A and B are shown apart, each in its own frame.
Chain A
Amino acid sequence: DGGITQSPKYLFRKEGQNVTLSCEQNLNHDAMYWYRQDPGQGLRLIYYSQIVNDFQKGDIAEGYSVSREKKESFPLTVTSAQKNPTAFYLCASSMTVLAKNIQYFGAGTRLSVL
């Protein structure tokens, strides 16, 4: 089945630690995205990538980093510089970055701070 796989489902971060969230898609989509969801709020864009080896900052990129070495994979690292990392993180992909292309979402990773 085609889709987006995020892992792990739950993740705990210690003070000063970097953690990496995995996102893999087998939809052959060019574009991938990372969103952050806080309770009672909509989603906010962290980073997006239009194509392999290219990525751009979204609205709340500070304290996060990404890479796009393969078309299928777009991992997100939450660095120690992100002072409030507790949130639900969602990865998405779309065929291209054109506005009419539907974004498909993974099941999410819930990150908490120990």
Chain B
Amino acid sequence: GNSVTQTEGPVTLSEEAFLTINCTYTATGYPSLFWYVQYPGEGLQLLLKATKADDKGSNKGFEATYRKETTSFHLEKGSVQVSDSAVYFCALSDQAGGYNKLIFGAGTRLAVHP
């Protein structure tokens, strides 16, 4: 079945460091891909998305490119801030069952130190 694998956390960085969180997927067809962010004690917020191959999603300095040839959707940010500390989830949408089913990775906890 479809699945998502992402960098195992925690990832610890200093402020202004470069961030990469890897995400690879297994899917039939052409799923849409998403990055969600979860701040402590809160629900998930959509960070960015891409709906077809070679699309680049971007938001708040974060970017991810839908790479069909490598089945990847890695999240990057050039300079992280303390306020970016959160758990990041990669997800794909699977419509095989006739509905919008999101399949999530396990999440990657990011801690940014001043």
Residues of A within 8 A of B (CB): 4, 6, 31, 40-43, 45, 48, 50, 56, 58, 90, 92, 94, 96-108
Contact = CB atoms under 8 A, between A and B. Distances in A.
A103 B49 CA distance: 11
Given A31-B99, A97-B98, A103-B102, 7 more contacts: A31-B100, A42-B106, A50-B99, A99-B94, A103-B100, A105-B36, A106-B43
A98 B104 CA distance: 17
Given A42-B89, A48-B99, A102-B49, A90 B104 contact: no
B106 A104 contact: no
Contact of A99 (B100, B106, B107): B100
B24 to A, nearest CB: 14
Query: Which 9 pairs of residues, A with B, have the shortest CB-CB distance?
Result: A42-B104, A99-B95, A105-B43, A99-B93, A97-B99, A105-B44, A107-B43, A97-B100, A43-B104
Given A90-B44, A99-B94, A45 B101 contact: yes
15 contacts: A40-B106, A42-B4, A42-B91, A42-B103, A42-B105, A43-B44, A45-B102, A48-B99, A96-B100, A99-B93, A99-B95, A100-B51, A101-B100, A105-B44, A108-B41
B107 A107 contact: no
Nearest to B99: A97
Interface of B: 4, 31-32, 34, 36, 41-46, 49, 51, 89, 91, 93-95, 98-107
Nearest to B104: A42
A33 B110 CA distance: 27
Contact of A43 (B31, B42, B89): B89
A56 B104 contact: no
A103 B105 CA distance: 16
A43 B46 contact: no
Given A94-B100, A106-B43, A108-B42, A100 B93 contact: yes
